[in-house]
Structure 1
Amino acid sequence: MLNRRNFLKNLSLAGPLAAMPSALLQAQPEIRSGNIDLTVITLKGKVQSQGKGIAGVAVTDGINITQTDRNGQYTLQSNATASFVYISVPAGYAIPAEKHIAAFYRPLLKNSAVQRHDFSLEKLVTDDRQHNFVVWADTQIISKQDAEQLKTQSVPDLQALVKSYPAGTLFHGIGCGDLVWDHFELFEDYKQAIDMCGIPFYNVIGNHDMDVDARTDDYSAQTYKQQFGPTYYSYNRGEIHYIVLDDVFFIGTAKKYIGYLTENQLQWLEQDLALVKSGSTLVISLHIPTNTGAARRERKAEELSGVVSNRKQLYKLLAPFKTHIMSGHTHFNDNWEEGNIMEHNHGTVCGAWWTGPVCGDGTPGGYGVYEVNGSDIKWYYKSTGLAKDVQIRTYAKGKAKDAPEEIAANVWNWDSKWKVEWYEDGILKGAMEQRVAYDPLAQELYTGPQLPKKHTWVEPYLTDHMFFAKPSADARNITIKATDRFGNEYESRVI
């Protein structure tokens, strides 16, 4: 991971910005010379469905939040520093989208002291207390060839997954940052891929989606905003309150950033959560994980660019709720749980930056799938091109370089509530030993200065989800069984 970061520091930004809707071009934020423009703007409008107002909908300019009255009307005092007015889509309504990209916002007009922005929503005919969502982390396309792989491999896999559920099942997606790899002209290819998927997608800004020629963090999201709107917002589906945050803080030097949540976001989040019933389930999506086990595994100091520095301030705000955090960025799979918070740090859609089928920890390229029933959430990791019940990769004795006398298994979506056991010639031998280790396939594919050919700086990573056992010398048949926290069993024979 460190070598990767050194490489990325030297990677040049290339390519013109792709074509975009004219309304967004006209509304793009701009750096103003002189004093900050604090001209008061009055925002008014109506949130409605088939002409009937919807009461209690949260409306925000990213600074303050108001709610619609019983007639669906809202008034919000804003100022010229705001870029958008947007809503927290309420439960029971379809996600508004344009070519399947969530369209929950309106760009603010320039030089208009009183503005009206209405929102029309479509009421669902399906009970959205049951719904699914997927998390696509790090599509990270840097070329048309990468974009083609996204469209011809990842998109059909997601299409097939959606079709495998009963007709009418509600799905939405979360693009968890690094949608492209600095080449902003490829945002159009990303959007085309999303449109092909056929489900609405909300998106998260990543470090490779930022303007790295900006003077400060305040202006580092200009291009992203032109393409996808606000970088932090919320929405509702069924009993779940969803929040998206921007935790990539650009420090004003090309390619350098830290994981950090600004005060503007935290004060906005306080207002947002004040409208949510205590004890509710939250799903928070951000690019840089709030925390991982990487520093512990590597026995190194925590990287400022690898986790959120002020995460404990976030956790304080989340204390009254049950929270699942969705993150990407690391290119490995890592789950941790403490108290009322569980973080799912996802393996990537791009595998090893579209140069190999697995991430550095051996997790196959793929995405998270989450099934919601009321306030309960179940999940699994879907590997691109593999059946959903493929959750283990096993290695025969001699395959793991650091444990040549042992069999090994990579259970990539493991968390502390999984159980991993092994059988020798049909007899249960007990739990396998969990150890911090490298995945043998990742080592084979990515170790050495010439591997992999496309991106030779890709490296294997230490991971917590490797398991080991020492079989008898005369063992003939060995099977590994992993049972997840929901009681689902997955078996794999060691060959």
Structure 2
Amino acid sequence: MKRRNFLRNLGFTGGIFALPSVISETNAAAFEKENDLVVKGKVMSEGKGIANVAVTDGTQVFKTNNKGEYQFTVKENADFVYISSPAGYAFDHENYIARFFVPVKGKRGTLNHDFVLTKLNTNDLQHNFVVWADTQMISASDCEQLKATTVPDFKKLMQQYPINTLFHGIGCGDLVWDKFEFFKDYKEAIAMTGVTFYNVIGNHDMDLNSRTDDYSAETFKEQFGPTYYSFNRGAIHYVVLDDVFFIGTAKKYIGYLTENQLAWLEKDLQMVSPGTTVVVSLHIPTFTGAPKRNKKEEDFGGTVSNRKKLYSLLAPYKVHILSGHTHFNESWEDGNMMEHNHGTVCGAWWTGPICGDGTPRGYGVYEVNGSDIKWYYKSTEKETNHQLRIYPKGYAKAYPEEVAVNIWNWDVKWTIEWFEDGVSKGTPEQRVAKDPWAIELYEGPSLPQKHKYIEPTLTEHLFFIKPSANAKSIKVKATDRFGKIFEEAIMIS
């Protein structure tokens, strides 16, 4: 049937069909203005505007003018307008949860908002930060453990630095374990530290009843603000991303960065000079060695599928990627980029003192000097020099004649040497294996009692020594990439 006859048979006339287009043409501009939100204001300190501060709605990125002013029309689906906090200023916070945004969801007309910052009284080119990965509380008991162990451990650590040392924190996702009522306890723990934390959304921080990924972060946003953003301290540009993509079925997700985020990041980085050190925090690691160790294909929920697109954007910079999620400690380095996948604050989900790879429960500590960063792993309730563990001969049941050594923060630039009765014997043998203590604590269907599905995991940071028949003592000397030496010894007989 021809189109004209079809319309006539339906009883419509050409004039009526033309009417909506006339309305659209005459009233479109007015309609759009009525439904727009224009946001304007200043980024300022002590009454003076701060120029060249990035202001964004999560899609567009603008700079404040030389008076610190900004003004733009917010994109329709924006939840927040926020700044990339500039270097040289204290981080604004609400009970030490970073507050760098104003909610705009559903607002129309004109919104006036000034971001008022406090200038630091110390140079921030030198500063430190910690990475708390997977605090992951599912019970009140878990929350109490966080407050009773990790918080005082961190406070004690800070006391070992000069009194004016700047610290901030990064909560690297899985702040809770699907129990959103414990966000309150997480926030209380952060407030107890007295350190401002920026937070990353994890797969256990998502709304599992949401229809699509677009709505999976509603509760997180109410608690912590945007899921992707940036900030600056000293010479470092920090970026936080949301790489947990919910696929609409409870507890199903993939590691994936949306186009919205990548497009925003591209604009954000246009304001960062090439060669700058950029620290990117996300929950799911972009890459790990786990598939190779386990001789399995890559798990879509275990790494970021489109990571190469991220790497391309980061190519002009010196990059450190910070991640969690796996409950093991590992790093890799390639060219301008290094990823630090952290052991967890909760260990094996608050069931024991170590993660499945034998890494003690704890957190990463990073010391920044200009554009350079040094780091170490801080085991909860242990001294900072606790960086390796030697097991007695035969404790690793699969290797009854050998001594096993776990050096959890090892990377390819460490050097390891072992001594028998004071005599150097060279480098111990590195081997992919399971930590023997983790086997004892977690292996099998009945262990651990609290969460029986936890199992030990293969790791590459295990080393093995075969002492001679008459050996009396074994010492291991581990030197990290910064030249710091750690030693542990054990008596054989």
Q: Which TM bucket (shorter chain)?
A: over 0.9
How high is the TM-score relative to the length of structure 1?
A: 0.92
Alignment-mate amino acid for residue 128 of structure 1: D
Alignment-mate amino acid for residue 303 of structure 1: D
Residue 89 (structure 1) aligned to one of 81, 85, 90: 85
Provide the C-alpha distance between the structure 2 equivalents of 1:472 and 1:137, rounded to a whole number of angstroms.
41
What secondary structure does 1:443 align onto? helix
Encode CA deviations 1:366-405: one digit per residue, 9 max, x unaligned: 0000000000000000000000001000012101122111
Query: Which moves more between the two structures, 37-46 or 78-87?
Result: 37-46
**Structure 1 residue 389 and structure 2 residue 385: aligned?**
yes
Residue 436 (structure 2) aligned to one of 431, 437, 440: 440
Residue 467 (structure 1) aligned to one of 441, 463, 467: 463
- How far is the alpha carbon of 1:38 from its aligned partner? 11
Provide the C-alpha distance between the structure 1 equivalents of 2:83 and 2:392, rounded to a whole number of angstroms.
54
Task: Output aligned runs, 1:339-358, within 5 Å.
Answer: 339-358=335-354
Alignment-mate amino acid for residue 237 of structure 1: R
Residue 252 (structure 2) aligned to one of 256, 263, 279: 256
Provide the C-alpha distance between the structure 1 equivalents of 2:441 and 2:209, rounded to a whole number of angstroms.
35
* Correspondence for 1:179: 175
When residues 37 and 221 of structure 1 are mapped into structure 2, their CA distance, relative to the original with a 3 A threshold, is farther
For the 8 Å contact 2:321–2:340, the answer to whether it is kept is: yes
- How far is the alpha carbon of 1:79 from its aligned partner? 2.7
Alignment-mate amino acid for residue 215 of structure 1: R
Task: Output aligned runs, 1:12-411, within 5 Å.
Answer: 39-108=35-104, 110-411=106-407
When residues 494 and 279 of structure 1 are mapped into structure 2, their CA distance, relative to the original with a 3 A threshold, is same
State how many pairs are aligned: 460
Provide the C-alpha distance between the structure 2 equivalents of 1:179 and 1:349, rounded to a whole number of angstroms.
10
Provide the C-alpha distance between the structure 2 equivalents of 1:296 and 1:433, rounded to a whole number of angstroms.
19
- How far is the alpha carbon of 1:40 from its aligned partner? 2.5
Provide the C-alpha distance between the structure 1 equivalents of 2:481 and 2:432, rounded to a whole number of angstroms.
21
Encode CA deviations 1:422-455: one digit per residue, 9 max, x unaligned: 0001001001111111100000000111111111
Provide the C-alpha distance between the structure 2 equivalents of 1:192 and 1:80, rounded to a whole number of angstroms.
34
Q: Which structure has the larger Rg? A: 2
Encode CA deviations 1:82-134: one digit per residue, 9 max, x unaligned: 01000000000001011000000000153422111110000001100000000
User: In percent, how many aligned pairs have the same letter?
Assistant: 65
Question: RMSD between aligned alpha carbons?
Answer: 1.2
Encode CA deviations 1:63-87: one digit per residue, 9 max, x unaligned: 1000100100001221331010000
For the 8 Å contact 1:37–1:81, the answer to whether it is kept is: no
Encode CA deviations 1:166-201: one digit per residue, 9 max, x unaligned: 101000000000000000011000000000011100
Alignment-mate amino acid for residue 226 of structure 2: P
For the 8 Å contact 2:242–2:283, the answer to whether it is kept is: yes
* Correspondence for 1:481: 477
Provide the C-alpha distance between the structure 1 equivalents of 2:82 and 2:149, rounded to a whole number of angstroms.
34
What secondary structure does 2:191 align onto? helix
Provide the C-alpha distance between the structure 1 equivalents of 2:128 and 2:300, rounded to a whole number of angstroms.
33
* Correspondence for 2:424: 428
What secondary structure does 2:430 align onto? strand
Provide the C-alpha distance between the structure 1 equivalents of 2:96 and 2:111, rounded to a whole number of angstroms.
27
Query: Which moves more between the two structures, 105-114 or 269-278?
Result: 105-114
What secondary structure does 1:43 align onto? strand
For the 8 Å contact 1:38–1:80, the answer to whether it is kept is: no
For the 8 Å contact 2:78–2:105, the answer to whether it is kept is: no
Alignment-mate amino acid for residue 403 of structure 1: Y
When residues 144 and 37 of structure 1 are mapped into structure 2, their CA distance, relative to the original with a 3 A threshold, is farther
Query: Which moves more between the two structures, 46-55 or 105-114?
Result: 105-114
For the 8 Å contact 1:326–1:343, the answer to whether it is kept is: yes
Provide the C-alpha distance between the structure 2 equivalents of 1:343 and 1:82, rounded to a whole number of angstroms.
30
Alignment-mate amino acid for residue 285 of structure 1: S
Structure having greater relative contact order (Cα 8 Å, sep ≥ 6): 1
When residues 38 and 252 of structure 1 are mapped into structure 2, their CA distance, relative to the original with a 3 A threshold, is farther
Provide the C-alpha distance between the structure 2 equivalents of 1:123 and 1:254, rounded to a whole number of angstroms.
45
Provide the C-alpha distance between the structure 2 equivalents of 1:231 and 1:336, rounded to a whole number of angstroms.
25
* Correspondence for 2:16: none
